[in-house]
């Protein structure tokens, strides 16, 4: 099992929305089976895909924890060759790990990147995404992590149509990181 990270929600999905789903619930206290409890604490878990709630039974004051999980629907990926396949987390992770070899980027960091991507995809209305779009979304984040990984991943995703394309991508990446350094007051 992957580690559960408690992080705040992003993208139009928040605790107050989920709290409203709470009304009318019939969650029984594990100790006395009373169906009313009050929520002591709510926090996002599993990169925002679930909510962990600490509750107290209104009858016997027994405290217990519940998890609410967002149902995830399979996402279809439209490939460049026109074929469709189900979005595979492990396949993407494998590609990312290859691109990040010897860059010092930890697998756990890459898993977080994919977590974010999955949350983003799950929150959209369309259930289909092009492989091109996935590549762009990943690159968007990789650019901040490692230049080497960025270039390797971009080439794996067939981003470059020729040498000039490769050079202009590198230029954009350089401009972007020098701008960031300036904004951070380093460069
Ligand atoms: Zn109780």
| Residue 131 and residue 40 in one domain | no
Averaged pLDDT of the chain: 78
| 55 Cα–ligand 1 center, Å | 10
Instruction: Read off φ and ψ for residue 27, nearest 5 degrees.
Output: -95, 120
Domain membership of residue 104 (yes or no) is yes
| Residue 114 and residue 173 in one domain | yes
* Domain containing residue 116: 76-183
pTM confidence score: 0.56
Highest mean pLDDT among 88-92, 172-176, 182-186: 88-92
Q: Provide the number of structural domains found in the chain.
A: 2
| 157 Cα–ligand 1 center, Å | 55
| 28 Cα–ligand 1 center, Å | 8
Domain boundary among 35, 53, 69: 69
Instruction: Read off φ and ψ for residue 139, nearest 5 degrees.
Output: -60, -40
Domain membership of residue 98 (yes or no) is yes
Neighbours of 117 (CB within 10 A): 20
Domain membership of residue 175 (yes or no) is yes
| Residue 62 and residue 80 in one domain | no
Using CA atoms, how far apart are residues 45 and 31, in angstroms rounded to an integer?
25
Residue 154 has pLDDT above 80, yes or no: yes
| Residue 81 and residue 23 in one domain | no
Q: Which two tokens stand for residue 55?
A: 């509750």
Using CA atoms, how far apart are residues 14 and 47, in angstroms rounded to an integer?
12
SS3 of residue 114 by DSSP? helix
| 140 Cα–ligand 1 center, Å | 49
| 7 Cα–ligand 1 center, Å | 30
| 66 Cα–ligand 1 center, Å | 14
Domain membership of residue 118 (yes or no) is yes
* pLDDT confidence of residue 7: 40
| Residue 109 and residue 34 in one domain | no
Neighbours of 1 (CB within 10 A): 3
Cα-trace Rg, the chain: 21
Using CA atoms, how far apart are residues 43 and 24, in angstroms rounded to an integer?
20
pLDDT in tens, 92-140: 999 899 889 999 888 889 988 988 888 888 888 888 999 889 988 898 8
């Amino acid at each position: 099992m992957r580690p559960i990270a408690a992080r705040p929600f992003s993208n139009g999905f928040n605790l107050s929305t989920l709290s409203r789903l709470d009304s009318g619930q019939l969650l029984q206290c594990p100790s006395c089976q009373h169906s009313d409890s009050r929520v002591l604490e709510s926090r996002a878990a599993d990169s925002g895909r679930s909510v962990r709630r600490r509750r107290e039974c209104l009858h016997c004051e027994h405290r217990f924890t519940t998890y609410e999980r967002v149902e995830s629907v399979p996402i279809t990926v439209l490939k460049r060759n026109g074929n469709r396949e189900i979005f595979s987390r492990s396949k993407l992770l494998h590609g990312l790990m290859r691109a990040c070899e010897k860059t010092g980027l930890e697998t756990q960091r890459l898993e977080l990147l994919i977590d974010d991507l999955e949350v983003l995809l799950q929150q959209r209305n369309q259930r289909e995404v092009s492989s091109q779009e996935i590549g762009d979304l990943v690159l968007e984040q990789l650019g901040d992590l490692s230049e080497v990984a960025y270039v390797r991943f971009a080439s794996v995703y067939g981003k470059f149509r020729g040498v000039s394309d490769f050079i202009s991508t590198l230029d954009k990446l350089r401009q972007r990181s020098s701008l960031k350094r300036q904004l951070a007051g380093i460069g």
